[in-house]
Amino acid sequence: MNILDYPFETPYDTVPFSKISADDFLPAFKNAIAEGKSEIDAIADSKETPDFQNTVAALDFAAERLDRISSIFFNLNSAETNDAIQAVAQEVSPLLSEFSNDILLNEKLFARVRSVFEQQDKLNLDKEQKTLLDRKYKAFVRNGANLCDTDKAELREIDKELGKLKLSFGEHVLADTNAFELHLENEEDIAGIPESAVETASQLAKSKGKDGWIFTLHYPSYVPFITYTDKREQRKKIALAFGSRGYKGDANDNRELVLRIANLRFNRARLLGFENHSHFVLEERMAKRPGRVKTFLEELLAKAKPAADSEFDQLSNFARKRDDIDKLQKWDSAYYSEKLKQELFRIDDEKLKPYFKLEQVIDGVFEVASRLFDLKFDEIDNIDRYHEDVRTYKVSDLKGAYIALLYADFFPRPGKRNGAWMTSYKTQYKKNGENHRPHASIVCNFSKSTASKPSLLTFYEVKTLFHEFGHALHGMLANTRYPGLSGTNVYWDFVELPSQIMENWCYEAEALKLFAKHYETGEILPMELLQSIKDSSTFQEGMKTVRQISFGLLDLSWHSQDPSEISDVKAHEKKAFEGTEFYPDIEENCMSTSFSHIFQGGYASGYYSYKWAEVLDADAFELFKEKGVFNKEASRSFKTNILAKGGTEDPMDLYKAFRGKEPNPDALLRRAGLL
């Protein structure tokens, strides 16, 4: 018997991480795939007349064990990977693509789903059932159910290859990230760098048997270094290394992968009758079509660009007067922006960090959630963890009823990818009269405590924690019948609303006073610092907006046209960035080759959704500003209509049920100070 046989005999049906080895996964996957196939065959071969329950609902619950094993495995591949797990990923990825195609290209199964779809008007289905039926039917059509056998076979091959290429892309980026070390041995080389970052770099050097300090491309090391080091040449060195990931002409070079992935996606979309990959993706998004996305981004760009140009001129003049810098380069951006922000607002992330001890921020985000959504968080130690740094919490309502489990993984390590994300180890759903509660996880990369200081967060990291926790709330407060519609199983341009709206509480005095206290003195964050945070919240907002728009336009450039004529990744990227760049191009760098969001993750043709969701969250938070940031009526409506409903209805309908109207883009511009 394999340890991954499901269900687990553990508290809350949690994953027995410590008992699982990489060798367990491949046989477990093969067994679960075989089991899933037999469940699918039973639905497809049923002699019963097709109806919603025996076909559509049954299909959504099929292959449950495979879904659980997949979530465990791919989460570990992101947060605690190694060579053995990566080898399994390469082997299992095509098997999963093949299994998915076995379902979606199964003619008998599709005939049953189509039969239910065509008679839905007679079935008296509720909104959730109609949504699930529509999703299932479209999943078949969008994956080739109406194709001839030859085209179906081609689709299978494309999906297999895409699965492998995306994995390789991510492995190359991680390998280049891990490979770089900036080893400094002279005191003068660390001038300006925050003490906490210096201490972490010292500890890393010692762990490798070296003197001095080692800085890396992992965010907790890279960001403070590029932001604060006074040594311009060192900033250049680390920035060039960061920007050249996947672009070095070696075994980890991603240029061919980028071109191949883009072309395969285009070919797949054309095979299915779509103009290009963007048309295919956006059919299942709030935006609906690439033209609307392009218009949305270009209209935002037109409003943000004048402010951004003025901000860049201000930054250039500041650097010229301060240090006689004739022309700003990309590696100067964070450094001089931070210096200018300090001068304008008397605000310094390093002065703020003592007020944001990690444990206090965790308590703070829990207290904010408690006041908004009537939740209680208790740290527990009776469930297994995949790494000793991971913390585990039981989430209950105020009456003590069990709501969810939360895993929290905060610190960087070699087997963990950069960035921050939320994921799930178990989805919420209702089955046989039982409401199966979810297991959510938030993963970040914050600096660990050192010998002299606890883990202290920058204000940006505080917002990151609130952001990912917002995603976790979306998963933990789910209350739907079907796993395929639960929690974050929503349109991509809607999924960021719960996360981005939570960031707003980081700027509110009522929320900050709950946790922003000096870790040594207990002093609450002084009002003048709080005001500085608020005043600086729109600092360089024009440039930041243009930067995000540029990423969205780059994404569209790869996916909203025929990429077969593109031969030079860098040249294509430069053209896509025209009109959005402020700094001179760096010949040795290329963003596309490490743009994991679109070439490894799920954001292809969807990167615009960050700005799209910002419109939603700015408009939504205006309601809390009107009624009160902890107003029960507003928070109850948000919980009921947004967090609990998952993907059970069209997201615009859910939003209007919460807000009473469609979102107004001017809300974002007002908040950003661009109106």
Active-site residue list = 468
Question: What dihedral do alpha carbons 513, 518, 521, 523 form, nearest 10°?
Answer: -30
DSSP H helices, 105-228, are 107-118, 127-141, 149-179, 195-207, 219-228
DSSP H helices, 13-122, are 22-44, 58-61, 64-79, 83-104, 107-118
Are 403 and 477 within 8 A, CB to CB? yes
Angle at which helices 358-373 and 459-476 cross, to 10° = 40
Joined together, the tokens standing for residue 232 give 């311009």
How far CA 354 is from CA of 148, 438, 519, in Å, comes to 64, 34, 6
3-class state of residue 423 by DSSP: strand
Contacts of 49 (CB under 8 A, 6+ apart): none
Are 573 and 591 within 8 A, CB to CB? yes
Joined together, the tokens standing for residue 642 give 């947004």
3-class state of residue 537 by DSSP: coil
Are 99 and 33 within 8 A, CB to CB? yes
Cβ neighbourhood burial of 22 (10 Å; 0-12, 13-18, 19+): middle
Measure the CA–CA gap between 444 and 417, rounded to whole angstroms.
Answer: 9
Residue with tokens 């001129």: 313
Please give the full DSSP string across 354-403, using - where no structure is assigned: GG-BHHHHHHHHHHHHHHHH-EEEEE--SS--SSTT-EEEEEEETT--EE
- Pairing of β 434-436 and β 375-379: unpaired
Joined together, the tokens standing for residue 172 give 């190359």
Question: What is the helix (H) or strand (E) element at residue 430, kind and residue range?
Answer: strand 429-431
Contacts of 675 (CB under 8 A, 6+ apart): 303, 666, 669
Please give the full DSSP string across 551-617, using - where no structure is assigned: HHHHHHHHHSS-GGG---HHHHHHHHTTTT--SPP-TT--SGGG-HHHHTSS-TTTTTHHHHHHHHH
Residues β-bridged to residue 441: 407, 423
Are 51 and 404 within 8 A, CB to CB? no
**How far from each other are the two terminal CA atoms of the chain, in whole angstroms?**
63
Residue 554: name the closest of 568, 575, 537 by CA. Answer: 575
Measure the CA–CA gap between 141 and 281, rounded to whole angstroms.
Answer: 13
Measure the CA–CA gap between 624 and 620, rounded to whole angstroms.
Answer: 7
Question: What is the helix (H) or strand (E) element at residue 548, kind and residue range?
Answer: helix 541-559
Measure the CA–CA gap between 94 and 111, rounded to whole angstroms.
Answer: 26
Count CA within 13 A, CB hemisphere, residue 672.
26
3-class state of residue 668 by DSSP: helix
Count CA within 13 A, CB hemisphere, residue 189.
14
